[in-house]
Structure 1
Amino acid sequence: MSIDFEIPAEAKAIREKVRKFVHDECIPAEKELDTKPLPEVLGPLRKKARAQGLWCPFVPKEYGGMGLGPLANALVQMELGESMLGALALNTQGPDDASMMTILAHGTEYQKEKFLKPLLNGEKRICFSMTEKAAGADATGMQTTAVKDGNENYILNGEKWFSSSASVADLALVMAKTDPNAPRHKQYSTFIVELPNPGYKIKRNVANMAIEGPHDDVIHGGHSEIEIRDLKVPADNLLGGEGNGFNMGQHRLAYGRLRHGMHNVAKAQRALDMAVAHVTKRSTFGQLLADRQAVQFMLADCASELYIGRLMLLHIAYKAEKGLDIRQENSIAKIFHAHMVHKVIDTAIQLHGALGFSQDTPLAKWYTQVRSQRLVDGPDEVHKWKIGKNVIKAFREHGTTASAAGGDLL
């Protein structure tokens, strides 16, 4: 019996439609940002996307989305990531996307009506405030507290660090400790906070190594350091019940890691395309770069990395479609894609020579941006630690490490 890797016709059609939209609309629109404000560029893009039925790919149709499952959504995201405007045009940008999914899965009807609806309509944005300086990758080290004030409100106090998109957000998901005496993973809860709010103060956007364009502060919203002082949050804004914040946060981050991987595949593909376009036109010492074996070897390495990256994501999508555990594969893929995109962009820069090192192409900017992929949503070392523990666990339970190393592919 053969293994069938055929993509369903409907998913293939959606992928082609999104690919055309990205190449015909989003990538050309990037140049408009040099002379126009972001709303004047993004507004028409979103209008065109909605007119074509391209909106909130992962959101059920009854909530106004495309209702795509894990496989079709993966295919779509692997196209959208080619353009900085792709995900924004379809209202599927991070960190909003994962927070929308969290409210969709755990929110009350009141919360869905008041907070989720404007997010799905693209009228508002939301950030996620979990990370703290003192805790870093250890989410159970959070010190921000939430104390109930009677039955009506919670009062939050603490600090947050690297809250992405906080400076452009209208809402925030804030994690805080509600029960210090509960088991470690049940101490935390998540609250929906309406912004601006005097109790949620953005101290600064943390400067980092990434080269920023004229609209990046609006598109990405920066990475903010937050001071939380006597922040009053209505009890009705508690999301998913007390003690469930950590588990909801981990599920939320799991999708974020996959989305990063999907967009990294797309960005790497565009970088490789740019590299090949350049070497097939550029001659040195009387010979096309494309005809040189060393250059062909470099391109072969990039193609291999992209192939592995795509297969990883499609296998994870397959397991997600079946409701299977994807935690081990998710961590492996998170690490792999972060390094893969860096390698492909680095190779593209090398093949462009001084042009690649300049800012006349987007490669230099991408190079500085993708370095964050080895840190965000858990640094490489934390994921490797988890992966390694699972390898040992698999051997102890089954006498082989296969189940922790892709041995259960189907």
Structure 2
Amino acid sequence: MAIDFEIPEDAKAMRERVRRWVHEECIPAEKRLVDRESFKVVLAELRAKARSQGLWSPFIPKEYGGMGLGPLANALVQMELGESHLGALSMNSQGPDDATMLTLLAHGTDFQKEKYLKPLLNGEKRVCYSMTEKAAGADATGMQTRAVKDGKGNYVLNGEKWFSSAASAADLALVMAMTDPDAPRHQRYSTFIVELPNPGYIIKRDIPTMAAEGPLSHIMGGGHSEIEIKDLVVPAENLLGGEGNGFNMGQHRLAYGRLRHGMHNVALAQRALDLAAKHVTSRETFGQKLSKRQGVQWMLADCASELYMARLMLLHIAYKAEKGMDLRQENSIAKVFLANMVHKVVDTAIQLHGALGYSRDTPLAAWYTHIRSQRLVDGPDEVHRWTTGRNVIRAFERDGTTAAAAGGDLL
């Protein structure tokens, strides 16, 4: 059987539809955003139009109101949506909601799906995920937030959470807490569904970061909150996936989040490269267009190479996902590569724009400060590189070659 990179016609058609949607609807709509009310109006209009065209929740099964796309088609769609910060929001495909919806689909009870998942799928509510703590960043098993039964059919949670993304825009939170400190390390934690606002879930602040912030940053879900959890009462019926399964559910959820970040990074890098190409083909210095200069062409070539490798990585991972194959090694490799790729491309685009790129007259400066987080979120680069390196050693010890941990199954 020949190696075939032909994309199925239906997936091609869907990618093209979403590309047009982003360029004809989402990017122009960005200019209309000035405050909370304009955001609500613009997003409502976009979502109504998207839904009427069948562009809604790409990765959600059709029986739940989504498009039912498989891993490959969804990857192609996400690699278009990331060109606009309204792209994913317009189709109810934004993080952190997307991975949480998948978790509820896989592990929620009928009651939980009806009460909590349904409004998320309809775009009526948003959800955040409270796992990270100051003392438990890359090592999630260091979480100290506790959940104890009160003997009245409830759990009572106490602790703190840190960098709960989109908490200030959320109507629901998934909170992970320790339910059995004596259990094996990965079986100590459970996940609870919490309705917001809640007096026991106290948003102390949205943590200032190096990312450029505007009046809409947190309203759109771009903030990262510090949370105090104090005597938070959660009914037992809101325990998600059973006691002791919080960590494993969280890792599965983060696996999709890493890929979604990577897909959106490809889209953002492509838009940045397009801006750079537009600028150098119209800008003249010393009597010659910038695009005629060999040094500029080399810079563009490096960006194109990075994007090419990034797309191949995601296509291979999507292929493995379609086949139900283990993709954890490739996921870690791609997570690190894609986070650094988007930084290199945006940085190059800024350089090619000169002082204009450093200014706020283009979106590049804001993108640059935002994408620095990509090397930290869903596991810092160093942890993924550590995991990848361990797997290289294990492959060699098992097989006498490192090929299995370095894409060798391609051959």
Shorter-chain TM range is over 0.9
Q: Which amino acid aligns with 1:18?
A: V
Residue in structure 2 matched with residue 213 of structure 1 by the alignment: 214
Shift of 1:323: 0.6
Q: Which amino acid aligns with 1:195?
A: L
Residue in structure 2 matched with residue 194 of structure 1 by the alignment: 195
Q: How does 1:7-406 map to 2 (within 5 A)?
A: 7-34=7-34, 37-150=38-151, 152-406=153-407
SS at match of 1:32: coil
In 1, Cα distance between equivalents of 2:275 and 2:331: 29
In 1, Cα distance between equivalents of 2:347 and 2:223: 24
Shift of 1:339: 0.3
Q: Which amino acid aligns with 1:231?
A: L
In 1, Cα distance between equivalents of 2:137 and 2:314: 27
What whole-Å deviation, never above 9, does each CA across 1:6-65 have from its counterpart, x for those lacking one? 000111110000000000000000001137620111111111100110000000000000
Shift of 1:151: 5.2
In 1, Cα distance between equivalents of 2:65 and 2:140: 33
Q: Which amino acid aligns with 2:21?
A: F
Shift of 1:221: 4.3
User: Would the aligned equivalents of 1:290 and 1:296 in 2 still touch at CA under 8 Å?
Assistant: yes
User: Would the aligned equivalents of 1:131 and 1:160 in 2 still touch at CA under 8 Å?
Assistant: yes
In 2, Cα distance between equivalents of 1:99 and 1:19: 25
SS at match of 2:410: coil
Q: Which amino acid aligns with 2:104?
A: I
What whole-Å deviation, never above 9, does each CA across 1:295-343 have from its counterpart, x for those lacking one? 0000000000000000000100000011111110000000000000000
In 2, Cα distance between equivalents of 1:337 and 1:188: 30
What whole-Å deviation, never above 9, does each CA across 1:343-397 have from its counterpart, x for those lacking one? 0000000000110000000000000000000000000000011000000000000
User: Would the aligned equivalents of 2:176 and 2:189 in 1 still touch at CA under 8 Å?
Assistant: yes
Unaligned runs of 5+ in 1: none
In 1, Cα distance between equivalents of 2:71 and 2:173: 26
In terms of mean alpha carbon deviation, does 70-79 or 206-215 score higher? 206-215
SS at match of 1:191: strand
Q: Percent identity over the alignment?
A: 78
SS at match of 1:82: coil
User: Would the aligned equivalents of 2:167 and 2:221 in 1 still touch at CA under 8 Å?
Assistant: no
Residue in structure 1 matched with residue 3 of structure 2 by the alignment: 3
SS at match of 2:164: strand
SS at match of 1:133: coil
In 2, Cα distance between equivalents of 1:74 and 1:317: 7
In 2, Cα distance between equivalents of 1:264 and 1:190: 29
Q: Which amino acid aligns with 2:160?
A: E
In 2, Cα distance between equivalents of 1:8 and 1:366: 33
In 2, Cα distance between equivalents of 1:173 and 1:179: 18
Q: Which amino acid aligns with 2:143?
A: M
SS at match of 1:220: coil
Q: Which amino acid aligns with 1:8?
A: P
In 2, Cα distance between equivalents of 1:186 and 1:226: 24
What whole-Å deviation, never above 9, does each CA across 1:71-99 have from its counterpart, x for those lacking one? 00000000000000000000000000000
Normalised to the residue count of structure 1, the TM-score between the two structures is 0.99
SS at match of 2:226: strand
Provide the alpha-carbon RMSD of the alignment. Answer: 0.9
Q: Which amino acid aligns with 1:301?
A: D
Shift of 1:135: 1.2
User: Would the aligned equivalents of 1:128 and 1:173 in 2 still touch at CA under 8 Å?
Assistant: yes
Q: In the comparison of the two structures, how many residue pairs are matched?
A: 410
User: Would the aligned equivalents of 1:151 and 1:235 in 2 still touch at CA under 8 Å?
Assistant: no
Shift of 1:217: 1.4
Q: Which amino acid aligns with 1:14?
A: M
Normalised to the residue count of structure 2, the TM-score between the two structures is 0.99
User: Would the aligned equivalents of 1:358 and 1:364 in 2 still touch at CA under 8 Å?
Assistant: yes
In 1, Cα distance between equivalents of 2:152 and 2:250: 25
Dislocated runs of 4+, deviation >4 Å: none
User: Would the aligned equivalents of 1:166 and 1:221 in 2 still touch at CA under 8 Å?
Assistant: no
SS at match of 1:225: strand
SS at match of 1:189: strand
